[in-house]
Structure 1
Amino acid sequence: MGTSGKLHNSLMEILVVVGMDQHTGLVPDNLPVQSSEKLPGTLPLFTTAFEPQVLAACAHEVANFPNSSSIFDSMASYSTSTWSSTIPPSPARGVSSSIPPSSAKGGKTRRSQSLRRLTPTGKHSVALPVGSDVISSLPPLCLPGNAYVYKDRPKDHVHYLVLTDISGAHSYATVYTFYRKFLASQVRGKSEYTIRAVPLSDEGEEGTRACFVPLCCCMVSRAPYFFTMRDCLTCLVQQLHKDVRTMEMVVAEFSSNLALVPCPPPGQLAISFQLNRFLVTVPPAMDPDRRVLDMPLHFPFLSFSTDAILTLVACILTEQRIVFLASDYALLTIVMESLLTYVQPFVWHNVYVPVLSNSMVDLVEAPGVFMMGCHVSHREKIIKVPGIVVADIQSGEVFMADSIFDNSELPRFPRAAAEFFKEKCSSMKFQYDFSYLHSPTPTSVDEARKHRETWQQELSRDIQVAFLQTMVKLFRDVKEYVSTVNHRRYLNKDKFLAAQEDLDQPFFREVCQSHMFKRFLQDRMDQKRDYYSIMEETMQWQGEDKAEIPDNKLIRRRKISANSPGQKNRRSGVVNFGLEANGPTCTFQLPTFTQAHRKAEKANPVHFYESCIQKLTNYLENCEPSMRAPYLYLRGMLYAAEGSSMIALEDFHNLCSVDVKLFPAEHVQGIINSLSDLERTQLEQKGLYKGGPMERKTMLGKLRRMSTEIDRGQGLIIALDFDQLPQRDVDLHEFSKHIRLLDIAVDSEVIERLFQSLTLEDTNYLDPDTFSIFYDCWKETELDNNRVACQLPEDCLTREEGVLKVSKLIRCDLGTGRLILTHKRLLFRTGDRTEEVVRIRDIQNLEKFQHNTVLTSADALKIYSKVDGQSPFSAILKEERNQWFMLVQELWCGRNIAEGTKDSQVVHQAAQNVLLINAVVLSGEYDECAHYDGVEQAAENLCYFTKRRKEGKDNLPEATTEVLIQRVNPSLGESVRNTVEALLYTSGDNSKGDNRSSPLLWCAMGSGQVKVYDASTWICDQQFIQANNRVCCLLAVGTDQVWAGSFDTTIYVIDIHTHTANKQLLDHVDMVSDLTISQDGSTVYSASLNGQIILWSAATLQKQGQIWLKNVHRLVSIKLVGENLWCCMKKSLMLVNREGETLHTLEMKDEGNSPLQIECFLLSQDGMIWAASGNSGRLAVWDSHSYSLVKNINVSCRGFSKMVQTHGKIWVGGKCGNIHIFNQGTYGEEKELVAHEDAIRSMCAAFDRYIMTGSGSKDGKIAIWRV
Structure 2
Amino acid sequence: MNEYEFLDDINFDDFVNKLDQLEIRVDIDTSERLFKALTLENSSKLDRLTFEIFIDVYQSKEAELKKINRFLPINKLRTIEFSLKVSPYSVVPNYGIGISVLTQKCLYFLEQGTNKRKVLTELKDIISIEKTQYSKGFFQSKPALKITTISQVVYISPDGEVSVWYLLLNELCSSFRIANETKDSSLIQYAAINVLLLDSLIQSGLNSTTNHSEDLERSIKYLSFYTFYKSDSTRLQMSTDAKKILHLRINPSSREYTSQSVESMIYVDIERYPTVWCAIGNRIKIFDAITWNDEIMDIKLETKITCLLHEPLNSKVWISTLDKYFYVMDVLTRSFIRRIQDHTDVIINISLFKKIDKVITASSNGEILVWDPEKIEKKDTANLNELFQNKSKLAEVTTSRNYLILTSSSSIEILDEKLQYKETIKFKIGETYEKISCTCVSYDKDSDDEFLWVGNSTNGIVTVWNLNRFELVMRIGVEECNGYRSFLCVDDFIWAGSKDGRLMLFSSKYYECEKSFKAHKDTVRSLCFVEYNKFVISGAGSRDGSIAVWRSSIINRKTIAGSIGKMLSPENK
Structure 2 residue 381 is the aligned partner of structure 1 residue 1106: yes
Q: Deviations over 1:1195-1227 (max 9, x none)?
A: 212221111111211111122222111221112
Cα distance change on mapping 1:793 and 1:879 into 2, 3 Å: closer
Once the two structures are superposed, the pairs formed by residues 1073-1222 of structure 1 within 5 Å of their partners are 1073-1080=348-355, 1082-1110=357-385, 1111-1121=390-400, 1124-1137=403-416, 1142-1148=421-427, 1154-1166=432-444, 1167-1195=450-478, 1196-1222=480-506
Q: Which has the higher strand share?
A: 2
Determine if contact 2:355/2:417 at 8 Å carries over to the other structure.
no
Matched residue, 2:268: 986
Distance 2:73 2:173 in 1: 25
- Could you tell me which amino acid in structure 2 is paired with residue 1201 of structure 1? R
248, 265, 277: which is aligned to 1:966? 248
Matched residue, 2:161: 880
Matched residue, 1:148: none
59, 64, 80: which is aligned to 1:779? 59
Q: Cα offset for 1:1144?
A: 2.7
Q: Cα offset for 1:1026?
A: 3.4
Q: Cα offset for 1:802?
A: 1.6
**1:1202 is paired with a residue of what secondary structure?**
strand
Number of positions where the alignment pairs a residue of Structure 1 with one of Structure 2? 534
Matched residue, 2:27: 747
Distance 2:500 2:41 in 1: 30
253, 257, 268: which is aligned to 1:975? 257
Q: Cα offset for 1:1019?
A: 3.4
Matched residue, 1:680: none
**1:1145 is paired with a residue of what secondary structure?**
strand
Distance 1:1025 1:959 in 2: 35
Structure 2 residue 110 is the aligned partner of structure 1 residue 807: no
Matched residue, 2:571: none
Determine if contact 1:745/1:751 at 8 Å carries over to the other structure.
no
- Could you tell me which amino acid in structure 1 is paired with residue 474 of structure 2? K
Determine if contact 1:1024/1:1060 at 8 Å carries over to the other structure.
no
Once the two structures are superposed, the pairs formed by residues 272-291 of structure 1 within 5 Å of their partners are none
Determine if contact 2:488/2:496 at 8 Å carries over to the other structure.
yes
Q: Cα offset for 1:1041?
A: 0.9
Cα distance change on mapping 1:789 and 1:1101 into 2, 3 Å: closer
Structure 2 residue 160 is the aligned partner of structure 1 residue 842: no
263, 284, 287: which is aligned to 1:1010? 284
Q: Deviations over 1:165-215 (max 9, x none)?
A: xxxxxxxxxxxxxxxxxxxxxxxxxxxxxxxxxxxxxxxxxxxxxxxxxxx
Cα distance change on mapping 1:827 and 1:1025 into 2, 3 Å: closer
Matched residue, 1:1019: 293
Task: Give percent identity, aligned residues only.
Answer: 29
Distance 1:1232 1:803 in 2: 42
Determine if contact 1:1109/1:1140 at 8 Å carries over to the other structure.
no
953, 956, 962: which is aligned to 2:238? 956
Distance 1:723 1:786 in 2: 21
Once the two structures are superposed, the pairs formed by residues 565-580 of structure 1 within 5 Å of their partners are none
Matched residue, 1:291: none
Structure 2 residue 519 is the aligned partner of structure 1 residue 1238: no
Distance 1:882 1:1056 in 2: 53
Q: Deviations over 1:52-75 (max 9, x none)?
A: xxxxxxxxxxxxxxxxxxxxxxxx
Structure 2 residue 217 is the aligned partner of structure 1 residue 933: no
Determine if contact 1:988/1:1039 at 8 Å carries over to the other structure.
no
**1:1019 is paired with a residue of what secondary structure?**
coil
Cα distance change on mapping 1:789 and 1:1266 into 2, 3 Å: same
Q: Cα offset for 1:796?
A: 10
Distance 2:219 2:247 in 1: 35
TM-score by length of 1: 0.40
Once the two structures are superposed, the pairs formed by residues 319-330 of structure 1 within 5 Å of their partners are none
Distance 1:955 1:750 in 2: 23
Distance 1:1027 1:793 in 2: 38
Matched residue, 1:314: none
- Could you tell me which amino acid in structure 2 is paired with residue 1263 of structure 1? A
Distance 1:1092 1:1044 in 2: 17
Cα distance change on mapping 1:1206 and 1:1223 into 2, 3 Å: same
- Could you tell me which amino acid in structure 2 is paired with residue 1266 of structure 1? R
**1:999 is paired with a residue of what secondary structure?**
strand
* Aligned-residue RMSD, C-alpha: 2.6
Moved more, 1245-1254 or 1131-1140: 1131-1140
Once the two structures are superposed, the pairs formed by residues 498-897 of structure 1 within 5 Å of their partners are 722-790=2-70, 792=71, 800-814=80-94, 815-831=96-112, 832=114, 833-849=116-132, 859-867=143-151, 870=152, 872-877=153-158, 879-897=160-178
Q: Deviations over 1:742-797 (max 9, x none)?
A: 1112312211211111111111111221111111111111111222233x376799
**1:1096 is paired with a residue of what secondary structure?**
strand
Q: Cα offset for 1:1069?
A: 0.3
Q: Deviations over 1:1146-1175 (max 9, x none)?
A: 34457x874332111111012211111122
Structure 2 residue 287 is the aligned partner of structure 1 residue 1036: no
Distance 2:57 2:174 in 1: 25
Cα distance change on mapping 1:1078 and 1:1139 into 2, 3 Å: closer
Determine if contact 1:1082/1:1099 at 8 Å carries over to the other structure.
no
Q: Deviations over 1:136-191 (max 9, x none)?
A: xxxxxxxxxxxxxxxxxxxxxxxxxxxxxxxxxxxxxxxxxxxxxxxxxxxxxxxx
Distance 1:1015 1:881 in 2: 42
Determine if contact 1:1107/1:1138 at 8 Å carries over to the other structure.
no
Distance 1:966 1:1020 in 2: 14
Determine if contact 2:251/2:545 at 8 Å carries over to the other structure.
yes
Determine if contact 2:488/2:527 at 8 Å carries over to the other structure.
yes
Q: Deviations over 1:483-529 (max 9, x none)?
A: xxxxxxxxxxxxxxxxxxxxxxxxxxxxxxxxxxxxxxxxxxxxxxx
Q: Cα offset for 1:923?
A: 0.8
Cα distance change on mapping 1:857 and 1:1036 into 2, 3 Å: same
Cα distance change on mapping 1:1244 and 1:853 into 2, 3 Å: closer
- Could you tell me which amino acid in structure 1 is paired with residue 285 of structure 2? K
Cα distance change on mapping 1:866 and 1:1233 into 2, 3 Å: farther
Once the two structures are superposed, the pairs formed by residues 155-304 of structure 1 within 5 Å of their partners are none
**2:459 is paired with a residue of what secondary structure?**
coil
Cα distance change on mapping 1:1076 and 1:764 into 2, 3 Å: same
Q: Cα offset for 1:828?
A: 2.8
Q: Cα offset for 1:849?
A: 4.0
Distance 1:874 1:1126 in 2: 67
Matched residue, 2:555: none
Q: Deviations over 1:991-1028 (max 9, x none)?
A: xxxxxxx32211122x2222323333433334444344
Cα distance change on mapping 1:1261 and 1:1190 into 2, 3 Å: same
TM-score by length of 2: 0.86
Determine if contact 1:1027/1:1048 at 8 Å carries over to the other structure.
no
Cα distance change on mapping 1:797 and 1:1107 into 2, 3 Å: closer
Distance 1:1091 1:1206 in 2: 29
Q: Gaps (5+ residues) in structure 2?
A: 445-449, 553-573
Q: Gaps (5+ residues) in structure 1?
A: 1-119, 121-721, 991-997
Q: Cα offset for 1:1185?
A: 2.5
Cα distance change on mapping 1:1039 and 1:960 into 2, 3 Å: farther
Determine if contact 1:1179/1:1194 at 8 Å carries over to the other structure.
yes
346, 352, 373: which is aligned to 1:1071? 346
